[in-house]
Copies of this chain bind each other. A is one copy, B any other.
């Protein structure tokens, strides 16, 4: 009834494990987790500069407070007495088309725009202007632009500056910005690139399949969800009614990060 099936990810032999051809015990201690994430998803090791950008992407999305639906779903499930992993699963189920999904949709928009630019021999500005006009006519949103809390998302600027320093920023980053400018010219309104849009541009630069965009966000967000679930379990009463807007931060006040930037990271 079943057939011999193939897998190209991990070879398991007694006392030997290969991840995409590399011995797992050789990867340990020599590569950061982000580098091995890249390896397992893409099949090859990243150049150090690319690893640095992926690290920054993962850090940028680790948490966004108590109001995102993934956090609320995970906390709600935790409050019923669910185990930690079941609570995380509910969080993962919430990372979808409308939450985190803007990364995938923005990647598609950027890929189309860059293709149009290349095929039509256009400048980035021309391709962006044509895309903005087309989407406005069709009543389509611009995924990866605008944010309900941040008008000038600090994560966006930082991601782009890290990518530029690392030499990873190319025509997708250029296009992401050209679209923002085209939108402002067309409408007279600012609709800044948000963190999803910035990540989308960088995943395009790194040639990630669009189908993995959501997974990158999930990988990044699981630790944040874990912190929320653990906090819920250890500091809150079971079965409380969780009012999303009605909470207060009582963690450490702002503190300075003294540590020096190490180029390998």
Residues of A within 8 A of B (CB): 1-12, 14-34, 36-37, 40-41, 43, 45, 52, 55-56, 58-60, 62-67, 69-70, 72-73, 76-77, 79-90, 92-99, 101, 149-155, 157-159, 161-162, 209, 211-212, 214-215, 218-220, 222-224, 226-228, 230-231, 233-236, 238-255, 257, 259-262, 264-265
| Chain B: minimal CB distance from A55 (Å) | 5
- A246 — which chain B residues lie within 8 A by C-beta? 2-5
- A19 — which chain B residues lie within 8 A by C-beta? 62-63
- A209 — which chain B residues lie within 8 A by C-beta? 230
Give A74's nearest chain B residue, CB to CB: B73
Determine if A257 and B93 form an interchain contact, defined as CB atoms under 8 angstroms apart.
no
Q: Known contacts A15-B153, A231-B7, A249-B7; is A77 also within 8 Å of B93 by CB?
A: yes
Determine if A254 and B23 form an interchain contact, defined as CB atoms under 8 angstroms apart.
yes
| Chain B: minimal CB distance from A124 (Å) | 25
Determine if A251 and B11 form an interchain contact, defined as CB atoms under 8 angstroms apart.
yes
Give A245's nearest chain B residue, CB to CB: B1
Determine if B28 and A59 form an interchain contact, defined as CB atoms under 8 angstroms apart.
yes
Residue among B2, B56, B233, B262 making CB contact with A245, cutoff 8 Å: B2
Copies held by the complex: 4
Q: Known contacts A58-B33, A59-B24, A98-B81; is A250 also within 8 Å of B7 by CB?
A: yes
Question: 16 A-B contacts, Cβ less than 8 Å apart?
Answer: A4-B248, A6-B250, A7-B248, A10-B63, A20-B252, A21-B253, A24-B60, A24-B62, A27-B59, A32-B265, A77-B93, A80-B101, A84-B215, A86-B96, A218-B226, A262-B264
Determine if A69 and B59 form an interchain contact, defined as CB atoms under 8 angstroms apart.
no
| Chain B: minimal CB distance from A91 (Å) | 9
Determine if A28 and B155 form an interchain contact, defined as CB atoms under 8 angstroms apart.
yes
Residue among B29, B92, B161 making CB contact with A85, cutoff 8 Å: B92
- A239 — which chain B residues lie within 8 A by C-beta? 69, 98-99
- A250 — which chain B residues lie within 8 A by C-beta? 6-8
| Chain B: minimal CB distance from A80 (Å) | 4
Query: CA separation between A60 and B150, bound complex, in Å?
Result: 37
Q: Known contacts A33-B33, A250-B6; is A149 also within 8 Å of B12 by CB?
A: yes
Determine if A25 and B251 form an interchain contact, defined as CB atoms under 8 angstroms apart.
no
Query: CA separation between A149 and B226, bound complex, in Å?
Result: 30
Q: Known contacts A5-B240, A24-B59, A211-B230; is A77 also within 8 Å of B83 by CB?
A: no
| Chain B: minimal CB distance from A228 (Å) | 6
Residue among B4, B86, B249 making CB contact with A247, cutoff 8 Å: B4
